Amino acid sequence: MVAIKRDVIIAGAGPAGAICAAYLARAGVDVLLIDKELFPRDKACGDMLREGIVRHIEKLEAVDVLDEKSTCIRKIKLVGSAGSEAAVPFECYALPRFELDKLLVDTAKSWGAEVRQGCRLVDVIRENGKVCGVIVREKGAEYEIRSRFVIGADGVDSQLVKCLAGVPDETAGGIGEEDPDGIWLGVRGYFKGIRLDRSLTKDQYDAGGVFGFDGKNGHAYFWALPVGRDGVKRGLCNVGMLVKGRDAFSSKELLERLDAWMGSEKIKAMFDDAEQIGEWSFGRMADKTQARKCAGEGWILIGDAAAPAEPLFGDGLSAAADTAKAAADAVEAALKSGDFSAEAVTASYKAALAKLQPAKSEDEIKEDRLLMESLNDPHVMDKIVEMLVRDPNYAKKAL
């Protein structure tokens, strides 16, 4: 086994890992970013980049590229299960993850981070309860990389979480059991030739999409949104759904439900001339109600590995970016002070995150979850859409 030494290893080069690596490299920290995949790689996502992540991309000076490559959504049409519909303001960039994640890895490299692709985290190295490196597999060989910090950015099925959860002692154990209600299942496909609503969609920088709900059990929402530089020109859309509950549906059932929505009265005309590009892609997301322990001696979890997304909006990318920045701040503080204790790292990570996101109490998180569930009740959602139709100003008050 070859032993390599680094200040920080980040496992997972998705948005969380790449943004964290970029911030650390920009601050002059010796950081190695690894990913088991080769980029560009795909990831099931709605491709909606809301203000939270865009703010970080701006700070890392990559927003011009984002502007050029994305569709800028300005409005969405909400379609209730009874068919009522209303257009409301909703702003986001829409860029396929295939392109976004490569853009962010390139940004990390441009700030000086070293990136190794095709390099999989297999295990963690621990000494006296402290995490002090990782074992990775690359091109069939396993080797050690020692470090002062390991940051787990390896997504919803985090290998780092599994390794840490296997540790019986106080420091690294107690990561948290999975709560099925805080897990979301999703599916996404790309279509070209979708007929976009021209009253909402002007051009690449002024486009609109559709959000839908159905009246079935299982708290789901659906979307069809133009995406990427030619989204509007080619009717190129990201089409998908998210449904709450780990065991809610099999992949086949998810597709049947999405198919039923795509064939529903108010939606089907959009698909008259549409053609699917590529395969469906499935994914999972864990929301904040998982209450996962996120830092300890020598380790921090960020992005989906830390389950930071709000249950109400599923804005996982912004949560990933905020946790990435908070972890970078906490690591910098520990490297400066020399205090790597679990208490110090956890406290500075939480303090940095609180500056980026207003902290929510457990009760507030529960309220968000209840609100999300009620939105999937056709009576509630249809009522809201009706109110939006009657009074467009209601959108400003309600959303």
Ligand X SMILES: Cc1cc2nc3c(=O)[nH]c(=O)nc-3n(C[C@H](O)[C@H](O)[C@H](O)COP(=O)(O)OP(=O)(O)OC[C@H]3O[C@@H](n4cnc5c(N)ncnc54)[C@H](O)[C@@H]3O)c2cc1C
Binding residues vs ligand X (CB under 6 A): 11-17, 34-37, 43-48, 120-121, 153-155, 159, 186, 188, 240, 242, 283-285, 303-304, 309, 314-318, 320
Please name every residue paired with 121 in a beta bridge, in sequence order, or none if there are none. Answer: 136
Q: How far is the CB of 274 from ligand X (least distance, A)?
A: 19
How far apart (Å, rounded) are the C-alpha atoms in residues 149 and 137?
19
Torsion of CA 23, 172, 128, 336, to 10 degrees: 20
Instruction: Using the minimum distance from each CB to ligand X, give the nearer residue, 231 or 316.
Output: 316
Q: How far is the CB of 317 from ligand X (least distance, A)?
A: 3
Instruction: Using the minimum distance from each CB to ligand X, give the nearer residue, 235 or 283.
Output: 283
Q: How far is the CB of 160 from ligand X (least distance, A)?
A: 8
Which residue blocks in 137-208 are alpha helix, DSSP H? 159-165
CB burial string 381-393: b at 16+ within 10 A, e below: bbebbbbbeeeee
Among the listed residues 27, 77, 102, the one whose alpha carbon sits nearest the alpha carbon of residue 332: 27
Decide if 29 contacts 335 (C-beta within 8 A).
Answer: yes
Please name every residue paired with 146 in a beta bridge, in sequence order, or none if there are none. Answer: 5, 133
Instruction: Using the minimum distance from each CB to ligand X, give the nearer residue, 43 or 229.
Output: 43
Instruction: Using the minimum distance from each CB to ligand X, give the nearer residue, 17 or 296.
Output: 17
Q: How far is the CB of 36 from ligand X (least distance, A)?
A: 4
Q: How far is the CB of 93 from ligand X (least distance, A)?
A: 10
Instruction: Using the minimum distance from each CB to ligand X, give the nearer residue, 165 or 387.
Output: 165
Q: How far is the CB of 389 from ligand X (least distance, A)?
A: 25
Q: How far is the CB of 395 from ligand X (least distance, A)?
A: 20
Instruction: Using the minimum distance from each CB to ligand X, give the nearer residue, 84 or 240.
Output: 240
How far apart (Å, rounded) are the C-alpha atoms in residues 286 and 179?
9
Q: What DSSP string runs through 201-254?
A: --BTTBEEEEEE--SSSS-EEEEEEE-STTHHHHT-EEEEEEEESTTS--HHHH
Instruction: Using the minimum distance from each CB to ligand X, give the nearer residue, 79 or 382.
Output: 79
